[in-house]
Structure 1
Amino acid sequence: MTWRKCTDPTWAIYTSGFLDFFGVSMVIPLISNHARDLGASPTMAGFIGSVYGCLQLFSSPVVGRWSDMSGRKYCLLWSLFFSACGYMSLGFSTSLIALFLARIPLGIFKHSQSISKSLLADMLPKDKQSAVHGHFNSVSSIGFILGPVVSGHIVEMAGGFYSVTFLCGAIFMLNGVLVWCCFPDVKSKSHDLVRDESSTSLQKLGSDEFNFNPKQIFQFKSLNWSAFWDLFLARFCLGLSLLLFRSNFSLMLREKFEVSPKGLGYVISYSGIISALCGMLAGHISRLYQNDQRLYKHLAILMTLTMVLFVFISTFWWYVLLLIPLSFASMNLRVVGTSILISKGSKQEIGALIGLSQSVMSIARMVAPLLSGVLLEISPSGPPSVGAGMAALAVLVISVKWQRGKEQSRLKQD
């Protein structure tokens, strides 16, 4: 490895993404089981899981706009610090109320992935977005390969859940040190515009971290909503489809197939391996198609068909096998969806658009755990059944909207 490659800031961002997912993947699979151990029903466990998505719904666009104004690095440091505190506090949750409260700081401040993606978008031209975001997601997914295996072994020891949450918090602190030392201090164009308009205030404050009117963080009227609503709606439907299946996946494996925490860790790591490999191929697949919208539609169809198959199977190894197309579709949908969103927006809107996209996913994260818990009490096939319907709805939306867009373009050319 050359010195130039070592000093390439994209590698620091990739490493940060890896540490982020490594820490998160150690804790997330354990929360539902921990809630059950504290006496929660599947529905109550789903309700506690919904807290995170509910808070992210409101905080994602605000933090995205904040990073547009103050700079990505500054916001990312605060995000990592409060996330570390939130994950450590999970270890002290000896009651359902304490577990509920511990999810609050994470719902407000856990935006490290979206801020890192915004930073990559600031640094790179649009023609490299798919490949770079694919590599970022792929390296991050390696964390999902290692994290569940590590936590699966630790949690079976005495005080295992506390040890896992404390280790996760320490990893986020280490990630903060990496960001502080190695991340470039790149400002978005929106930041530069505000700085030029408020030079007088800047001289008074003596710092460019607070050189804007806070009301600007909440202003989204300038966005061209007609150009993005179809992507946001499709992202919600596909995200809800995936989250309905995965929200109580660990609980389903535990109760339906009697899988141990260690075995669950290996299953999730296996899924992470598939996602990592797919992420590395995202750029090549996008270049092969040469049409991100068509690729997005085909991936959505693949997810729909996979969810339908999950409805009709009841064998553990079939579940494991079908995780391959599910991981392939979900990983590439994230990459291609981000690429399409960035290509439709302007440079100064990147943080806000990605933040709003995260808010759309936050609605899915808010609804999915509770709905999945209710459906799971009705039937083990409930979550994938509704998930298949939501994925099919996404296919319908983008097919109709994009076909109309093509027809309008032809009319204009004529």
Structure 2
Amino acid sequence: MTVTDAAHDTARPEQYPFGPVVRLDLNPRYMELCRTAPVSRVTMPYGGEAWLITGYHEIKEFLADPRFSSRAATEPDTARVTPLPLRPGNLLSMDPPDHGKMRKIVAHAFRPRIVSDLTDRMRELVTTELDAMEAAGPPGDLVQRLAVPLPVRMIVELFGVPYEERAEFRRYSDVFVATSAHTREEVNAARDGLEQFLRKLISLRRASPSDDLISVLIEALDAGHMTEVEAVRTGIGILMAGHETSLSMISNVSFLLLAQRDLYARLLADRALLDPAIEEMLRVIPLRSTGSFPRRASEDVEVGGVLIRKGETVIFQRAAGDRDERVFDDPEAIRFDRERNPHLGFGHGIHYCLGAALARAELKAAIGGLLDRFPGLRLAGAVDDVPWKPGLIARAPESLLVEW
């Protein structure tokens, strides 16, 4: 393959993002690029130009290459989609060897036994929430009755956060993950609020250590394996990823199954399809409204036959790669019987999602609970009537009213 260098074309790269976010639709420009130019230049909302990767093989190649530094996400001059760079000190913005050391510490809280114990709690909670929704009568809101309480309860149990304090971190959540919905000042204030919240939890947990993530962070902090800033910001990163992403995905999967009601009917007819259906929806749903957090080349690197020069910024759109026709047969179709589904829904490489098993279990508990309880479940209004949260990193319905 011939290496090309498009970094100094005279034409200004097209503006990114490519257009407004519409429900779970993937802007067609992504797939055009995936087919014709899977590594291409774009002009970002903040920080100038970047490379956008849309092809499956190119994304995997990029994610596995240690020459792309995640620290770029913390630097103010990095091209990005968010109004502010990340703050240093969390897993998302770490490179080896710091990343490996920190990941090994927090992975303790995601051991299979702990996830298994939480799975039993998930089923209990889903039953309780759906009992309450059924008792209240239609319409019910699947966002407030299911998508929010399930991952929030699980993450507070994993962390050791008192459940009654969940509202304190929830009020910062949407602001923390804003792209255009909030100002820089509001995002900074939310970050400060979450850091204060984590510091308070660490202080309280010192008096009564347990097997939760806060206790794991305290043990590593006291042993000198991480700084207080690293403990706090790593905790925030997991807290946000562990509930905000999951609640968005539960909402999105529920919407997709009811917006295309034949999908829900298919699962009712064959419950053995639930696991592969979850994998297929992880593949096809474009959870992020825009591309990834940025990384920067630490030296000249070739990806997909394109030369990316030292210092240049790169982002990728996972959902485009997961519809790459070079990898997936009939990629635009939602097929619950897809035999080969190596999707990138949880990433690839050293930053592969720590909570993948927990997220899968939450989705299975939520959708399985709906299928068990409400075979006649349907949207309470038209698909176009469903309101969506604007201007956030993760797309999700604001509410999802249903009848049964």
Per the shorter chain, which TM-score range?
under 0.3
Using structure 2 for the length normalisation, give the TM-score. Answer: 0.28
Higher helix share: 1
Using structure 1 for the length normalisation, give the TM-score. Answer: 0.27
